[in-house]
């Protein structure tokens, strides 16, 4: 039998943020291998995973491994709740035991919230042909064992509504920009990220107490960014009469450039806005909400109502819809197309920026590629509702939000975005104009 050595490796902050993130969200972004506490690193196959309490890693938990041939090993989770153990054989079963006496008082191993399987502190894992297996222990208070299906559904619906409203703020802007200029703006994701990063920067300068002031300033800055990008890039390209495909690829380049600029400044780590770990309180059963969720949903609804009024009743809103319908006719009836497009860019950017702030609370956390993670969901929402129609984007966003959150009741949570993307492809197959779009838009 081999002698066991427990090595403790201090995971870098970057790697830990990325690793915890992959497990928690099944991200759309870049992932890099995370370091973890390792035992038997010289062995060819490995079992790895992490121990979490409601998404928070738990350090210092002892985990025992046992397998055929008298194999035994012990590992202690690191500061990020991670562990990795080398094992000698693949295509073999191992028993993995969490030593519950090393857990903090009052909590135990509970069900994986993403599945309905009852999981105990002793589990058997099979190392497959790939030679690696990942397993996670979810820790929490005992009562979560008895969460009823009804409670789960309500919780998912609320969560989905929250997520959908957040998506809506981003996608109505994308949809308006598409409607008035024809650009499928991939850089919209970076406008989303900008709102969150600007707020974070302002809070860092002004202090946490001035969050209420930092958010409006960040939104103004978002608007300035939208105006600036339009004035510097899109307006000249419009005057050159550049084709739609070219514009789309320009937006992709812009997206990459801005995204890595964010990474240049804030690095690869995840930052938090003040109040993101707010206490959750129970509504009924096991359905719980935080004050942030409620404020976030309330403000989103308010903004969407104001926006809808602006679009349907104000003069510029009407002009915007006229341009979406027929730009040349709008121009020849005396509408200042360039001026309206400029306003659309500003409004779209402000809405995207606000959506970014909400996304920072919903995820939770601020990262350089956080906007890119939901870009395809924003596109899915916009396409589902009908590209170029603002109200369609709203409906599409709510559907996508509830679908993404609701689907994790039935499928593994790291596949929850897949459902929305399948719907995106399906809608283009059966009704490419979307729910509220009109057929002639689809060339």
Partner 1 sequence: MDFLGIFNSSISFIIAPTTIAYALATLGLALHFGFGGLLNMGMAGFMALGAYGYAIGILSFGLPWYFAAFVGIAASIVFALILGIPTLRLRGDYLAIVTIAAAEIVRLVLLSSAFGGLTGSADGLSGFNGPGGTVTNPTVGAGGFNDSNPIPPGEYGFVPFLDNERTWYLRIVGIIILGLAIFVVWRLVNSPWGRVIKGIREDEDAVRSLGKNVFAYKMQALIIGGVLGALGGLMLAFSTNVNSSVYVTSLTFFLWTALLLGGAATVFGPLAGSIIFWVLQAFLGLVFPALAEAGLMPFTTIQAAQIKYIIVGFALVLLVVFRPQGIFGNKKELTFVK
Taking the CA of residue 332 as centre, how many other CA atoms within 13 Å lie in the half-sphere pointing to its CB?
3
Of residues 254-313, which lie at the interface with partner 1 (CB under 8 A)? 254-261, 263-264, 267
Q: Smaller CB distance to partner 1: residue 33 or 334?
A: 33
As measured in angstroms, the least distance from the Cβ of 307 to partner 1 is 24
E strand or H helix that includes residue 240: helix 235-240
Nearest to partner 1 of 28, 278 (CB atom): 28
- Using the minimum distance from each CB to partner 1, give the nearer residue, 132 or 144: 132
Nearest alpha carbon to residue 18 among 42, 5, 35, 39: 35
**Residues 48-77, interacting with partner 1 (CB under 8 A):** 48
Among 75, 98, 109, 133, binds partner 1 (CB under 8 A): 133
Report in angstroms how near the CB of residue 269 gets to partner 1 at its nearest: 11
Q: Are 73 and 96 in contact (CB under 8 A)?
A: no
The DSSP symbol for 278 reads: P
Q: Which listed residue (184, 296, 320, 397) binds partner 1 by CB under 8 A?
A: 184
DSSP letter for 221, please.
Answer: H
Task: Compute the distance between CA of residue 90 and CA of residue 130 in angstroms, rounded to an integer.
Answer: 8
Question: In the complex, what is the shortest distance from the CB of residue 44 to partner 1, in angstroms, rounded to a whole number?
Answer: 4
For partner 1, the closer CB: 187 or 215? 187
For the CB of residue 50, give the shortest distance to partner 1 in the complex, in Å. 11
Q: Residue 317 or 419: which CB sits closer to partner 1?
A: 419
The minimum distance between CB 251 and partner 1, in angstroms, equals 9
Please choose, out of 194-202, 246-254, 273-281, 327-335, the segment that lies near partner 1 by the rule CB under 8 A.
246-254
Of 319-358, binders to partner 1 (CB under 8 A) are none
Q: In what order do the strands lie in the sheet with 62-67?
A: 72-76, 62-67, 92-98, 122-127
Going from the C-alpha of 32 to that of each of 19, 29, 85, 254, 339, the distances in angstroms are 7, 10, 19, 24, 44
Question: Are 119 and 107 a contacting pair, CB within 8 Å?
Answer: no
Between CA 381 and CA 437 the distance in angstroms is: 13
41 binds partner 1 (CB under 8 A): no
415 binds partner 1, rule: CB under 8 A:
yes
The helix (run of H) or strand (run of E) holding residue 135 is strand 132-140
Look at the alpha carbons of 356, 359, 363, 369 in this order and tell me if their dihedral is positive or negative: negative
376 touching partner 1, by CB under 8 A = yes
Residue whose CB is less far from partner 1, 36 or 61: 36
CB of 204 to partner 1, least distance (A): 18
Is residue 34 within 8 A of residue 16, CB to CB? The reply is yes
Using the minimum distance from each CB to partner 1, give the nearer residue, 6 or 126.
126
Closer residue to partner 1 (CB): 212 or 430: 430
CA atoms within 13 A on the CB side of 108: 11
Q: Give the residue with the Cβ less far from partner 1, 313 or 429.
A: 429
Among 4, 13, 28, 308, binds partner 1 (CB under 8 A): 28
Among 124, 148, 246, 333, binds partner 1 (CB under 8 A): 246
**Strand blocks (E) in 193-352:** 280-284, 287-290
Q: 246-265 burial string, b = 16+ CB within 10 Å, else e?
A: ebeebbeebbeebbeebeee
Q: Give the whole-angstrom CA distance, residue 283 versus residue 267.
A: 38
The correct pick among 13, 76, 89, 435 for binding partner 1 (CB under 8 A) is 89
Counting contacts by CB under 8 A, is residue 418 touching partner 1?
yes
Q: Which of 252, 278, 308, 435 binds partner 1 (CB under 8 A)?
A: 252
Tell how strand 37-39 and strand 82-87 pair up. Answer: parallel
Closest CA to 27 of 289, 365, 354: 365
Residue 425 binding partner 1, by CB under 8 A: yes
Closest CA to 434 of 251, 249, 175, 192: 175
Site size toward partner 1 (CB under 8 A) is 69
- Candidate residues 126, 141, 312, 314; the one interacting with partner 1 per rule CB under 8 A: 126
Part of the chain binding partner 1 (CB under 8 A), chosen from 72-80, 123-131, 143-151, 282-290: 123-131
From its phi and psi, is residue 165 left (phi > 0), alpha (psi between -120 and 50) or beta? alpha
Q: Which residues bind partner 1 (CB under 8 A)?
A: 22-23, 26, 28-33, 43-46, 48, 88-90, 126, 128-134, 184, 233, 237, 242-246, 248-250, 252-261, 263-264, 267, 372, 376, 379-380, 383, 411-412, 414-415, 417-418, 421-422, 424-425, 428-429, 432, 442-443
């Amino acid at each position: 039998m081999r002698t066991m050595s427990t090595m403790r490796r201090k995971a870098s902050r970057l790697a830990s943020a990325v690793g915890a993130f992959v497990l928690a969200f099944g991200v759309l972004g870049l992932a890099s291998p995370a370091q973890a506490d390792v035992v038997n690193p010289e062995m060819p196959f490995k079992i790895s995973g992490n121990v979490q309490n409601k998404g928070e890693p738990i350090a210092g938990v002892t985990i025992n491994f046992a397998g055929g041939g008298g194999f035994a090993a012990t590992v202690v989770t690191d500061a990020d709740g991670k562990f990795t153990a080398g094992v000698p054989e693949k295509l073999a079963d191992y028993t993995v035991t969490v030593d519950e006496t090393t857990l903090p008082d009052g909590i135990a191993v509970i069900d994986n919230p993403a599945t309905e399987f009852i999981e105990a502190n002793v589990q058997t894992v099979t190392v497959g042909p790939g030679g690696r297996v990942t397993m996670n222990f979810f820790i929490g208070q005992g009562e979560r064992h008895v969460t009823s299906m009804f409670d789960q559904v309500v919780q998912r619906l609320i969560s989905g509504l929250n997520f959908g409203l957040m998506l809506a703020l981003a996608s109505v802007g994308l949809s308006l920009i598409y409607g008035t200029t024809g650009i499928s703006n991939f850089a919209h994701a970076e406008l989303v990220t900008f709102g969150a990063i600007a707020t974070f920067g302002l809070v860092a300068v002004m202090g946490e107490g001035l969050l209420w002031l930092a958010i409006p300033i960040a939104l103004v800055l978002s608007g300035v960014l939208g105006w600036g990008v339009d004035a510097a890039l899109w307006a000249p390209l419009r005057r050159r009469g550049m084709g739609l495909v070219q514009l789309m690829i320009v937006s992709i380049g812009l997206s990459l450039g801005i995204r890595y600029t964010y990474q240049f400044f804030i690095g690869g780590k995840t930052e938090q806005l003040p109040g993101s770990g707010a206490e959750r309180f129970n509504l009924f059963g096991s359905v719980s909400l935080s004050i942030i969720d409620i404020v976030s949903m309330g403000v989103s609804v308010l903004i969407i109502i104001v926006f809808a009024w602006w679009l349907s009743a104000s003069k510029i809103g009407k002009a915007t819809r006229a341009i979406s319908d027929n730009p040349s006719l709008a121009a020849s009836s005396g509408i200042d197309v360039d001026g309206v497009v400029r306003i659309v860019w500003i409004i779209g950017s402000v809405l995207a920026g606000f959506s970014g702030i909400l996304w920072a609370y919903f995820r939770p956390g601020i990262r350089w590629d956080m906007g890119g993670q939901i870009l395809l969901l924003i596109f899915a929402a916009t396409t589902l509702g009908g590209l170029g129609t603002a109200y369609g984007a709203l409906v599409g966003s709510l559907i996508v939000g509830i679908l993404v959150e609701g689907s994790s009741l039935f499928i593994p949570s790291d596949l929850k975005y897949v459902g929305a993307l399948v719907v995106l492809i399906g809608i283009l197959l059966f009704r490419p104009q979307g729910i509220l779009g009109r057929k002639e838009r689809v060339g």
